[in-house]
Structure 1
Amino acid sequence: MSTHAPSRPSYAAVLRVPHARRAFVSALAARLSYGTVSLSALLSVTRATGSYAVSGAVMSLFGAATVFLMPFRASLIDRYGPRRALLPMSMLYGTLLCALAALTWRPGASPVVIGAAAALAGACAPPLGPTMRALWSELVPDRGLLQRAYSLDGVAEELLYVSGPVLIGVLVGFAPPASGILLSAFLIVTGTGVFTLSPALPGPRPRAAGRQRAGALRGLWAPVVVATGAGLALSGVDLLVMAFAAQHSYDPDVVPWVLGALSAGSALGGLANGAVRWRASARVRLCWFAVGLGLVVAVAGLAPGLWTLTAAMACAGAFIAPALTTAYLLADETADDASRTRAGAWVNTGVNAGSSVGVMVVGVLVGRLPLGVCFLLAGAAAFVAALAAGGRAAGAARVGAGVPPLEEAPCRRR
């Protein structure tokens, strides 16, 4: 399936690709569920149990099951096709979310039962982001236009995670927090149902030979490591900005505005990245974007005041979407047709795993080390990941000189 790419591809051209608009909009509707479920579950579990410790443990179970089982669920998409795998997965996930909502609608439910329901729900969460990115790769054969498609997808996803909590904030003003979980279930089931009706969806993909799968996994080193480093760097920013505001005696209400600058910078950076015709390879760009992110976060702790910190966060954000978009592009270039969705899922897992670890580490360090040192360490995570990815790639290039590319690094046939 293809379309003629204009000499200067635009974001409008991405949405004019046959079947792309319908699939993209329905996938975004379903993915909005992930922007609403975390806050609504946190609020409803806290209300039902009266314990922040219990709600934190429940959300950790939910997050761990969602993140670390994502490559396995993505492999089911590759093996059986999105139509056969996504719909039952989303219906099971939606049913378990409804069970979690019922358990937390009123106080009194057992924390063990709530935790089990949350963990089971997380284990079934459909990998819609990796599936949509794999579909973009099917729909858009031109690499320049595909870069635009991935940038558009990344910016839209960023906006979903910003607007989801706002939507829940409005909803809980007149309804119990558990109603947000029901809304999340409705979004995922309805959106996924419409998405699976798209004629653009591919069928099951033939499984690759063991040697090809091993080569694809080696090729994922750079995007997964950089994504993990970015997650480590960014996860602690929320806590660091809060600590900065407290240290400088600012009202806590300013924190969302500073973090909003981070999101706005990411959106603008993502759109700009998609518009540029890069001459450097995706692997080189990936490392430089990570270096830029790390350096800006590292020096943000030197900001003398709130406005300077806000500007630094906007600059840091300008590297986020380009780094993640390039990581997904590189994963797509590396993957064979039988593992395209799983390759993107590994990048997702890297980001989320890094975020989970980073927020715990920063939580321990804040208060024990000077704030500037904490910012420096957060930025160093992205910088070190870039060095590791770049060094491994250079070593692989030297070792692999003269090896037939289809054996060691299978590329997508175009």
Structure 2
Amino acid sequence: MSAPLSRPSYAAVLRVPRARSTFAAALVGRLAYGVVSLSLLLATVRATGSYAVAGTVMALFGASTVLLLPLRASLVDRYGPRRALAPMAVLYAALLSVLAAVTWRPGTPAVVLGAVTALTGACAPPLGPTMRMVWGELVHDRRLLQRAYSLDGVAEELLYVSGPVFVGVLIRFASPSAGLLLSAALIAAGTCAFVASPVVGGLRGSSGRRQQGKSPARQRGLLQPVLVAAGAGLTLSAVDLLVTAFAERHGYGGDTVAWMLAALSAGSAVGGLLNGAIDWRTPARVRLPWQAAGLGLTVCAAGLAPGPWTLTAALACAGAFVAPALTTAYLIADETAAPGARTRAGAWINTAVNAGSSCGAVTAGLLLSHASLGVCFAAAGGAALVSAAGAVVGARGTAVAAVEAEPVPEAALEAESGRSGA
């Protein structure tokens, strides 16, 4: 499972033995997460007739999915992908089917919906973090791994954009609950194909092995990418709400909002591909604060946009820093993690992005009622700038911790004790 020796490129990533089939299977399963959110929202509204209940159900689903993600990822590290992911996928698909059944017709009590939804989210298999761990096993060249992570990040972004499109087509012919069944089928089929790959099936967990990775140096090393990921999530979720408010205040419709946010996603995809194609000489820990700062500054500048076209251009520029920052964060997490904790380390980045996203939406909503749009955009960009500053401090602390944790050479110890070879 070693990387090819050719010049690092996206084509070289896909030429790695078993990479295309394994990656394709993971993407099929991960498409389920692009489909499930809108399907669950629409199905709950249809079943209860209440947006308040739907909002609560979505909050429960998001909380159980995100907050328990590191725990589920640790099960993958401990028992291996095949033994851990397959049972999770079966449970998750079964519970999604139950959700589809109870939302197919109106009348299901909100308490039942909330309980089933929370339990469903708790079983969601961590396919994204596991696939990134598998990339680390497939690709041993760090330059090629950067391209693999960039490709993975851009593909994931496209899945979350295309998922709602599939739901929109589906509900023209069926109940929104059918989207939950589609999500169940995708997660079951994708996960089964993923764990059936010889690459994934050959990976063993860390059960019975000595656990590493809890040293202070490793913990500090993970703090930097987690901080930037949380800042990026907060900034991006705030921007989503601020763009909607901008369109309403300037008399534009939802189609304009869609194009603006599409520009953000397109900029992220282009930025991710360019970032992966560059043969960086600067270490990842040095690049990460600059990428976070670029996101923060461009979002602050977006608040000065006088109209929708200038705002769209500003958002495209801001998006160009999103995928590079997250890709770099995943690279650092992979470098920091002990061999038996790589899936969990990547999961912490996911958790940080989603936790920041939840906080950003709430904060932006509160700010909008007390401040101008320009101030709100500046506050949203400021979150990324603060994370960039924290990343600089974190990088310095990690370097100091690494030096302190570095073992003293045996020859030096012998010289101090008078037992050097003479």
Structure 1, 21-30 or 196-205: larger mean CA deviation? 196-205
SS in 2 for 1:236: helix
Quote how far apart the aligned CAs of 1:62 are: 0.3
Number of the residue aligned with 1:348: 350
Check the 8 A contact 1:292/1:319 in 2, yes or no.
Answer: yes
TM-score of the two chains, using structure 2 as the length reference: 0.94
Cα 1:120–1:213 change in 2 (3 A) is: farther
- Residues of 1 paired with 2:368 and 2:273: CA distance? 34
Task: State the AA in 2 paired with 1:102.
Answer: A
Cα 1:363–1:252 change in 2 (3 A) is: same
Quote how far apart the aligned CAs of 1:399 are: 5.1
Task: State the AA in 2 paired with 1:136.
Answer: W
Quote how far apart the aligned CAs of 1:9 are: 1.2
Cα 1:52–1:312 change in 2 (3 A) is: same
Q: Is 1:134 equivalent to 2:156 in the alignment?
A: no
Number of the residue aligned with 2:204: 203
Structure 1, 211-220 or 36-45: larger mean CA deviation? 211-220
Q: Please list the CA deviations of residues 186-226 of structure 1 after superposition, one character each: whole Å capped at 9, or x if unmatched.
A: 00011000000000011113544467455432211001000
Please identify the structure whose Cα radius of gyration is greater.
2
Q: Please list the CA deviations of residues 207-248 of structure 1 after superposition, one character each: whole Å capped at 9, or x if unmatched.
A: 444674554322110010000000000001111011111222
- Residues of 2 paired with 1:104 and 1:403: CA distance? 55
Match of 2:226 among 215, 224, 227: 224
Cα 1:281–1:24 change in 2 (3 A) is: same
Number of the residue aligned with 2:255: 253
SS in 2 for 1:18: coil
Quote how far apart the aligned CAs of 1:360 are: 1.0
- Residues of 2 paired with 1:278 and 1:89: CA distance? 38
Number of the residue aligned with 1:410: none
* Map 1:211-360 → 2, pairs under 5 A: 212-360=214-362
SS in 2 for 1:220: helix
- Residues of 2 paired with 1:396 and 1:35: CA distance? 35
Q: Is 1:193 equivalent to 2:192 in the alignment?
A: yes
Number of the residue aligned with 2:389: 387
* Map 1:354-373 → 2, pairs under 5 A: 354-373=356-375
Unpaired runs of at least 5, structure 2: 409-422
Unpaired runs of at least 5, structure 1: 407-414
SS in 1 for 2:173: coil
Task: State the AA in 2 paired with 1:403.
Answer: A
SS in 2 for 1:4: coil
Quote how far apart the aligned CAs of 1:114 are: 0.4
SS in 2 for 1:200: helix
Cα 1:213–1:194 change in 2 (3 A) is: farther
Number of the residue aligned with 1:182: 181
- Residues of 1 paired with 2:99 and 2:63: CA distance? 17
Check the 8 A contact 1:5/1:145 in 2, yes or no.
Answer: no
Quote how far apart the aligned CAs of 1:395 are: 3.0
Q: Is 1:47 equivalent to 2:38 in the alignment?
A: no
TM-score of the two chains, using structure 1 as the length reference: 0.96
Cα 1:50–1:319 change in 2 (3 A) is: same
> Share of identical aligned residues, percent?
64
- Residues of 1 paired with 2:140 and 2:170: CA distance? 41
Q: Is 1:162 equivalent to 2:152 in the alignment?
A: no
- Residues of 1 paired with 2:220 and 2:397: CA distance? 12
Quote how far apart the aligned CAs of 1:403 are: 3.0
- Residues of 2 paired with 1:23 and 1:397: CA distance? 36
Q: Please list the CA deviations of residues 47-71 of structure 1 after superposition, one character each: whole Å capped at 9, or x if unmatched.
A: 0000000000000000000000000
- Residues of 2 paired with 1:371 and 1:266: CA distance? 23
Quote how far apart the aligned CAs of 1:369 are: 0.7
SS in 1 for 2:199: coil
Number of the residue aligned with 2:419: none
- Residues of 2 paired with 1:208 and 1:337: CA distance? 11
- Alignment coverage as a number of residue pairs: 405
- Residues of 1 paired with 2:213 and 2:226: CA distance? 20
CA RMSD of aligned residues (A): 1.3
* Map 1:52-71 → 2, pairs under 5 A: 52-71=51-70
SS in 2 for 1:242: helix
- Residues of 1 paired with 2:269 and 2:63: CA distance? 27
Task: State the AA in 2 paired with 1:296.
Answer: T
Quote how far apart the aligned CAs of 1:405 are: 6.7
Number of the residue aligned with 1:376: 378
Check the 8 A contact 1:208/1:336 in 2, yes or no.
Answer: no
Quote how far apart the aligned CAs of 1:304 are: 1.0
Check the 8 A contact 1:40/1:177 in 2, yes or no.
Answer: yes
Task: State the AA in 1 paired with 2:288.
Answer: L
Number of the residue aligned with 2:5: 5
